[in-house]
Amino acid sequence: MMISHTHAEPAPVPDRLYLGIMTGPHDPSAAIVQDGRVLALADEERFIRHKHAFGIYPINAIRYCLEAAKTDLSDVHRIAMPWDVTGYSDGRIAAFYQRMNETWPVDAATSRWQHKQLSTFNRDSLRELHRRELGRTFGVEAIPEIVGTGHHYTHAFQAAHESPYGDAVVLVLDGSGDTHTGTVWLKTGAALELIREIEIPHSLGWFYAAITEYLGFDSSDGEYKVMGLASHGRPDAGLDTLVSAVLHPADNGIDYRVAPEYIHYGPHTYSGRFTDRLAELFGRPPRSRVAPVEPWHQDLALAAQIATEQAACRLVSWAVRETGVSTVCLGGGVAMNVKMNARIAMLPEVDRVFAHPGCADNGAAAGAALVACHADSGALPKPLGSMALGPAYSTATIESTLRNVQAEFEFVDDPAPVIARDLARGSVIGWFSGRMEAGARALGHRSILADPRTPEMRDRVNAVIKHREPWRPFAPSVPEEHADSYTDHGGDARFMMMAFTANEHLRADAPAVVHVDGTSRIHRVVQADNPGFHRLLTEFGNLTGVPVLLNTSFNVAGEPIVCTPLDALRTFHASGMDILVMENFIIRKSAPQLS
């Protein structure tokens, strides 16, 4: 099936504002776009301090976006949502569900899910939801027109047009979006053409979620733990065979197929994400949250990770052969799998890869607003330079917060050389600078930083700072001018979206940021995009000869990344961090060491 998404090119109306809103079971968010530019994007979880904000309407994120754009709801031209609102409203998706129900032995839980999707994402329900929530907050009776942008098209548009590349193959993989679970697109200029599609129930995202829950973690949250755990696993042909009973190539040798009796249809004693047959297949009950992680669990994680990578690579290899285009863009929540992304980048037929850091559903709020803006005006987004699209806090606000909590602090004109010395002496730093990042990656605005030159620092940060599992990896942040000396692979490394094999130079200089399997998720820091963080890295490099810092998100296990100065202070005092830096303010738990 081939669908071409092109629009007439009306004259741009640069003052029109488009409010993107993502609502759904988890990770609600909001964004505001003008003339193809994202002015603001933020996750609701950051404001309410409830990770993933399950089932919450993103009213705080909406309020922030309007404030960031210095506007109010009356100036918004349209509200855009990354769903096929028309399809949910005119019966097309209901007809798809009916066909699916005639093909598969759908159980009661799946029927309830279908009914909820239809009742939630139709135009009337969405209009009532937004009218009620926006009316309560802003006191309005009329709301802007609601438009749906299609879930996979939204992910594809955002990944394709915010990439730094021209023509590209675009792969979108997720749990599900409207009827799709996987799509392949061809970007040619402004056009996106759908050249391959995979639909429910064959879902790579749902497969990985099932393995996540079977291994004792929470889906929609613990998938990255499975990916980290897989690095400790050993290849096991027997487990590979069992996993292939669940996820395997389609008869055409290109698409993937998921056996729904293991995921969807049947008794769900242990989890809504998999049936009892999955436990029977593996020959043991699922791991409980409190049970130890055994080598067998590590081996299963590896088998599932390899199967996921193979499924994605088959699609990419087909698309490159079919189109002759060797540049690849990645979108959809499965693209958060940095090992899969690197595996795609290492395919011999692939030249360049861009994995969008807002590929998951929380980033789709911006994607929807960009699509709606383009549909009206023809405006295309510029290549993505930064994810720092959240709130920033002034010097006066930070100082007021510090004085209100009676914190001792010092103000310095240039914290970079001071903090570089503290890092070199072994201090762990909370770094709070500029606008908060959107999405899951801490990119030097809300980060915890440490000296990466000894493995012991990795263990310390995991144990007493992050309070998390010891197998979890950290990323190295490197100034752009030094990054090539630490990696032998291509790909866009500005957003921590690919984990490549660490080269000898990185292994020698920064062992704390090299994972047990020898990979590292390098973060290339561009001076123009984040000059303050770039300066800190440069100062640390000048001092130590190693221009690399261990970088992880500014939060402890189970909490969102910090947003406000008060959030930063709470997390600082609830962890083993030594020093907190908020813009030019330095807060220490003890007196500075003297050299």
pLDDT digits (tens, 9 = 90+) for 79-93: 999 999 999 999 999
End-to-end CA distance of the chain: 68
Banded pLDDT at 590 (limits 50, 70, 90):
confident
Instruction: Please return the burial class of 475, using the count of CB atoms within 10 Å of its CB with bins 0-12, 13-18 and 19+.
Output: buried
Q: How many CA atoms lie within 13 A of 385 on its CB side?
A: 11
Q: Any idea what DSSP says for residue 435?
A: S
In whole angstroms, give the CA distance from residue 403 to residue 216: 43
Fold for 163-355, please state it.
Nucleotidyltransferase; domain 5 (3.30.420)
- R_g of the chain, CA atoms, integer Å: 24
Helix (H, G, I), strand (E, B) or coil at 138: helix
Cβ pair 270, 203 in contact under 8 A: no
C-alpha 105/C-alpha 216 separation (Å) is 27
Residue range 157-203, pLDDT digits in tens: 999 999 999 999 999 999 999 999 999 999 999 999 999 999 999 99
Question: Nearest CA to 332 among 497, 159, 488?
Answer: 159
462-516 per-position pLDDT tens digit = 887 777 777 678 899 999 999 888 987 767 899 999 998 899 999 999 999 999 8
* Residues 65 and 19: beta-carbon distance below 8 Å: yes
* Mean residue pLDDT across the chain: 94
Task: Say if residue 582's pLDDT is above 70.
Answer: yes
Rounded to the nearest 5°, which phi and psi values hold at 522? -65, 140
Phi then psi for residue 486, to 5 deg, are -110, 0
pLDDT in tens, 296-323: 999 999 999 999 999 999 999 999 999 9
Confidence of residue 13 (pLDDT cuts 50, 70, 90): low
Strands (E), 101-179: 145-148, 168-177
Whether the upstream peptide bond of residue 201 has omega within 30° of 0, thus cis, is yes
Quote the tokens at residue 91.
């019966």
Task: Compute the distance between CA of residue 268 and CA of residue 32 in angstroms, rounded to an integer.
Answer: 40
Distance CA 476, CA 513 (A): 6
DSSP state of 274: B
Token reading at 553: 């998100």
Fold of 395-588: DHBP synthase (3.90.870)
Report pLDDT for 333: 97
CA dihedral 449, 451, 454, 457 (to 10 degrees): -40
Q: Which residues pair with 448 in a beta bridge?
A: 430, 552
Q: Is 104 exposed, middle or buried (0-12, 13-18, 19+ CB in 10 A)?
A: middle
CA dihedral over 272, 277, 281, 287, signed as positive or negative: positive
Name the token pair of 45. 């979880």
Asked if the model's pLDDT at residue 10 lies above 60, the reply is no
Is 595 a residue whose pLDDT tops 50? no
The token pair at 109 is 């839980």
Q: Which residue has the tokens 């193979």?
A: 310
Amino acid, res. 584: N
Q: To the nearest whole percent, how much of the chain has pLDDT over 70?
A: 96
Amino acid, res. 337:
N
Under 8 Å between Cβ of 515 and 452 = no
Q: How far is CA 185 from CA 172, 315, 327, 348, in A?
A: 8, 11, 12, 20
CA distances in angstroms from 418 to 247, 390, 519, 536, listed in the order given: 52, 27, 31, 9
Strand partners, 168: 187
The DSSP code sequence of 91-111 is: SHHHHHHHHHHHHS---HHHH
Q: Considering all CA atoms of the chain, what is the largest pairwise distance in Å, rounded to the nearest integer? A: 75
4 pLDDT exceeds 60? Answer: no
Report which residue type is found at 370. Answer: L
Joined together, the tokens standing for residue 51 give 């990770």
Domains 3-84+121-155+362-375 and 163-355 share a fold: yes
Please state the length of the chain. Answer: 595
DSSP letter, residue 266: S
Phi then psi dihedrals of residue 304, to 5 deg:
-70, -40
C-alpha neighbours within 13 Å on the C-beta side of residue 359? 30
pTM, two decimals, is 0.94
pLDDT of residue 7: 43
CATH number of 3-84+121-155+362-375: 3.30.420.40
Residue 9 pLDDT greater than 50, yes or no: no
pLDDT tens figures, 24-46: 889 999 999 999 999 999 999 99
Q: Among 328, 300, 103, 336, which Cα is nearest to 205's? A: 336
Pairwise CA distance, residues 355 & 171, whole Å = 10
DSSP class per residue in 359-415: -SGGGHHHHHHHHHHHHHH---PPPP---B-S----HHHHHHHHHHTT---EE-S-H
By three-state DSSP, how is residue 423 classified?
helix
Residues 367/346, Cβ–Cβ less than 8 Å: no
Please check whether residue 554 is in contact with residue 448, taking contact to mean a CB–CB distance below 8 angstroms: yes
- Distance, in Å, from the CA atom of 87 to the CA atom of 502, rounded to the nearest integer, reads 46
What's the pLDDT at 24?
Answer: 85
CA–CA distances in Å: residue 226 to residues 218, 231, 263, 297: 10, 9, 17, 9
For the chain, the structural domain boundaries read: 3-84+121-155+362-375, 163-355, 395-588
Give the model's pLDDT for residue 594. Answer: 47
